[in-house]
């Protein structure tokens, strides 16, 4: 690859994301990046290292639901070393003691208890005023409304009806009292962009995304509610070819999205990432 190629689509996306990372780091007192270990989050780590010349100057947060695929835990330990990650792990031990789990509760309740509750507790504990997320506008209609810098109230609420204007590279630079700002460097990326970039940069990712016995995971969440899709795509080139043809939505295999007509909206209003 040419050392100067800069006008291609992926490089433009990359350079804009780097700018967003740098503006966030310059503007906010205390930044954290939640890490799901999924492909988008791994691209974020890569972009952060590019933005800060190799070193990620803030901690990453993994909210461990205890329902991750075993391979994800292996990947976490390996990636931690490769990228030199300062990792904070939080589990909602109290909810687990109370017996909250997929065997006995609906996915929306479990997601709330095991993800959102410990996530909010961590924000209270560390007082972060900016959180970097891997949200992309193409993921879901509600996410199409997002901004690069998206303020959240102390309760974690998102006032999507009265968002600050955002133009000319000037972002909302002050977190609401007691709240924080979500910083979203991947906003303009699509699922296909993510995979093409992973291929170009050779970014480490879990192998669950590649087909075994005719099935692969397109999106990764808790194992009881995340289902593989039928796919022969067993390597990155085949995944990219498949995405160029598919018209099935990315989160089709994620059960919590499909409980009610607007479940995603409800989850997000409650502070879900």
Under the binding rule (CB under 8 A), the answer on residue 87 touching another protein is: no
Under the binding rule (CB under 8 A), the answer on residue 55 touching another protein is: yes
Under the binding rule (CB under 8 A), the answer on residue 144 touching another protein is: yes
Under the binding rule (CB under 8 A), the answer on residue 206 touching another protein is: yes
- Kindly write out the interface string for residues 102-141 of this chain, putting x where it contacts another protein by CB under 8 A and - elsewhere: -----------------------------------xx--x
Long-range contacts of 199-203 (CB under 8 A, 24+ apart): 199/236, 199/237, 199/240, 200/1, 200/10, 201/46, 203/42, 203/43, 203/46
CB count in 10 Å sphere of residue 163: 14
Cβ neighbors of 236 (< 8 A, separation 6 or more) are: 195, 198, 199, 210
- Kindly write out the interface string for residues 183-202 of this chain, putting x where it contacts another protein by CB under 8 A and - elsewhere: -----x-x-----x-xxx-x
Give the nearer residue to another protein in terms of CB position, either 55 or 215: 55
- For the bound state, the minimum distance from the C-beta of residue 55 to another protein, rounded and expressed in Å, comes to 5
Dihedral pair phi/psi, residue 244, rounded to 5°: -65, -25
Give the nearer residue to another protein in terms of CB position, either 30 or 190: 190
From candidates 71, 90, 105, 109, binder to another protein by CB under 8 A: 71
Under the binding rule (CB under 8 A), the answer on residue 15 touching another protein is: yes
Q: Do β-strands 31-34 and 60-63 pair in parallel, antiparallel, or remain unpaired?
A: parallel
Give the nearer residue to another protein in terms of CB position, either 95 or 175: 175
Closest CA to 47 of 14, 83, 13: 14
Under the binding rule (CB under 8 A), the answer on residue 79 touching another protein is: yes
Within 156-185, the residues that bind another protein by CB under 8 A are: 160-161, 163-170, 172-175
Residue 157 in 3-state DSSP?
Answer: coil
Residue 189 in 3-state DSSP?
Answer: coil
Under the binding rule (CB under 8 A), the answer on residue 236 touching another protein is: yes
State the Cα–Cα distance between residues 25 and 183, nearest whole angstrom.
Answer: 10
- For the bound state, the minimum distance from the C-beta of residue 193 to another protein, rounded and expressed in Å, comes to 9
Under the binding rule (CB under 8 A), the answer on residue 86 touching another protein is: no
- For the bound state, the minimum distance from the C-beta of residue 62 to another protein, rounded and expressed in Å, comes to 16
From candidates 64, 265, 270, 273, binder to another protein by CB under 8 A: 265
How big is the chain by its Cα radius of gyration, in Å? Answer: 18
Give the nearer residue to another protein in terms of CB position, either 84 or 93: 84
State the Cα–Cα distance between residues 11 and 189, nearest whole angstrom.
Answer: 11
């Amino acid at each position: 690859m040419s050392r100067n190629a800069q006008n291609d689509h992926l490089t433009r996306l990359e350079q804009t994301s780097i700018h967003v990372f740098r503006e966030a780091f310059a503007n906010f007192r205390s930044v954290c990046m939640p890490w799901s270990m999924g492909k988008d989050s791994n691209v974020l780590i890569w972009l952060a290292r590019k933005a800060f010349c190799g070193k990620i100057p803030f901690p990453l947060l993994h909210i461990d639901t205890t329902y991750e695929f075993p391979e994800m835990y292996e990947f976490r330990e390996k990636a931690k070393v490769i990228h030199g990650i300062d990792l904070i792990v939080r589990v909602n031990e109290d909810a687990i003691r109370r017996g909250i789990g997929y065997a006995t509760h609906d996915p929306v309740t479990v997601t709330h208890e095991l993800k959102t509750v410990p996530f909010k507790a961590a924000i209270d504990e560390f007082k972060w005023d900016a959180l970097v997320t891997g949200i992309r506008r193409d993921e879901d209609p509600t996410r199409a409304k997002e901004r690069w810098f998206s303020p959240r109230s102390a309760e974690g609420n998102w006032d999507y009806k009265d968002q600050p204007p955002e133009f000319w590279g000037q972002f909302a630079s002050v977190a609401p009292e007691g709240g924080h700002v979500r910083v979203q460097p991947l906003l303009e990326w699509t699922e296909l962009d993510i995979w093409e970039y992973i291929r170009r940069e050779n970014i480490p990712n879990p192998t669950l995304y590649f087909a075994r016995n005719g099935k692969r995971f397109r999106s990764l969440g808790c194992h009881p509610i995340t289902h593989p899709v039928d796919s022969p795509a067993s390597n990155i080139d085949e995944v990219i070819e498949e995405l160029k043809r598919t018209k099935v939505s990315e989160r089709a295999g994620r059960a919590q999205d499909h409980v009610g007509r607007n479940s995603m909206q409800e989850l997000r209003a409650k502070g879900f990432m």
